[in-house]
Amino acid sequence: MNLLFVFLLQAATAAPTPFDQGMTLFQQHQFAKAAESFAAAIKTENPGTSHYAEVAYWLGQADYLAARNAEAIPWLEKAIAGGVRGPEVMYMLGNAAIQNRDPERARRAFAAMFGVLPETPAAHLLTAQMMIRQEFEELAVKELDRAVELDPRIPEAHYLLGIISTYHNDLDRAKKELANEIAINPNFAMAYYKLGDAYSRHEEWDDAIPYLQKAIWLNPAYSGPYILLGKGYLKRDQLTNAEGALRRAIQMDPNNYSAHYLLGQTLNKMGKTEEGRKMLEESQKLHKGPEE
C-alpha cells in the first residue's frame, strides 16, 4: 500500500485534539463545553509561546461568551501578554471586568482599546460609557465624577451624569449637569432635549419648552423633542402648536404610540373628535404591538 495514502488515512481517522474539539464546539455556540476543551488543550502548551497565547485567547473568549467573566479575565490577559492584539480582546476583557465589578481593570482594557492612557479623563469617560451600556450606573457615576474632576470641561461627561441623574429621578442634579454640558458644547442638541425632559418631569413647561425648541432647531430630524414639545403645548392649551409638533413627530416616527395618543387628545380638545378617536385607537394598537 502506498505509504502516503496510509499516512493520510491515519490522519483522517485520528481522534481530534482537545483544541480541535474546542473549535468545533465553539462554532456550534456551545461555549461552556468549548471552554472545557480549550482548558484541556492549554495544559499541553508551553507558556510563553505564541500557540499558548492563541489557545488562551480562545479559552478566554469561550468563557466570556458563556458569561463566566471571572474565569475569562485571566485567560484574556494571558493572551494579551502573549502578543494577541486587537480591539475585540480588549473589549471582552473590559466588559468582563465590568461584570466582575473591577473598574480599574476595565479602564485599563478600554484605555488600550481606544489608545489613551488609563488615568486620563478620556479613559474614565470611555469606561463610564461602557458601564452605562451594561447598566452599571453606580460604577459609571464614579468614573464620570473622576473624569470631571480631572477635566471639568471634558465633552459629554456632564451629559451622561445628567442622563443617569434623570433616570434615578435626581432632577436637581440632572438640570445642573445638563446645563453644564450646554455651557461646554452649545451645539449639542441632545443636551437641550434632555434638559427640557428634566424640567418637564415636574411640569415646569415654561422652562422646558425653550430647551425643546432649541433641540429641534439644532436637530430637526429627531422625533423625541417634538413629542415632548407637543405635550408641553397641550398642557399649556396651545393646541395649534401642539398639533403641529405632534404631526411632525408622527411623520418621522409613524409607530410611536405616545405621539398618536397626545395628538388624539389634542384633536379632541380642538373639536376634531373623529380624527382624535382614530388617533387614540391607533395609539392603543401600537402600544399593544402586532397581534400574534
What's the N-to-C CA distance of the chain in angstroms?
A: 64
pLDDT band at residue 4, thresholds of 50, 70 and 90? very low
b/e code 186-218 from CB counts within 10 Å (16+ = b): eebbbbbbbbbbbbbeeeebeebbebbbbbbeb
What confidence tens digit (pLDDT) does each residue in 6-51 have? 433 444 455 789 999 999 999 999 999 999 999 999 999 999 999 9
C-alpha cell at 235: 398642557
- Overall size of the chain counted in residues: 292
What confidence tens digit (pLDDT) does each residue in 128-174 have? 999 999 999 999 999 999 999 999 999 999 999 999 999 999 999 99
What confidence tens digit (pLDDT) does each residue in 59-113 have? 999 999 999 999 999 999 999 999 998 899 999 999 999 999 999 999 999 999 9
Measured distance CA(31)–CA(19) in Å, rounded: 13
The three-state DSSP-derived secondary structure of the chain is CCHHHHHHHHHHHCCCCHHHHHHHHHHCCCHHHHHHHHHHHHCCCCCCCHHHHHHHHHHHHHHHHCCCHHHHHHHHHHHHHCCCCCHHHHHHHHHHHHHCCCHHHHHHHHHHHHCCCCCCHHHHHHHHHHHHHCCCHHHHHHHHHHHHHHCCCCCCHHHHHHHHHHHCCCHHHHHHHHHHHHHHCCCCHHHHHHHHHHHHCCCCHHHHHHHHHHHHHHCCCCHHHHHHHHHHHHHCCCHHHHHHHHHHHHHHCCCCHHHHHHHHHHHHHCCCHHHHHHHHHHHHHHHHCCCC
Q: Full-prediction pTM beyond 0.85?
A: yes
pLDDT score, position 14: 59
Mean pLDDT of the region 101-127? 98
From 87, 83, 105, 86, select the one nearest 96 (Cα to Cα): 105
pLDDT score, position 6: 41
What confidence tens digit (pLDDT) does each residue in 265-283 have? 999 999 999 999 999 999 9
Residues 6+ apart with CB under 8 A from 179: 195
b/e code 146-158 from CB counts within 10 Å (16+ = b): bbbebeeebebbb
pLDDT score, position 10: 47
pLDDT band at residue 289, thresholds of 50, 70 and 90? low
pLDDT score, position 61: 98
pLDDT score, position 142: 98
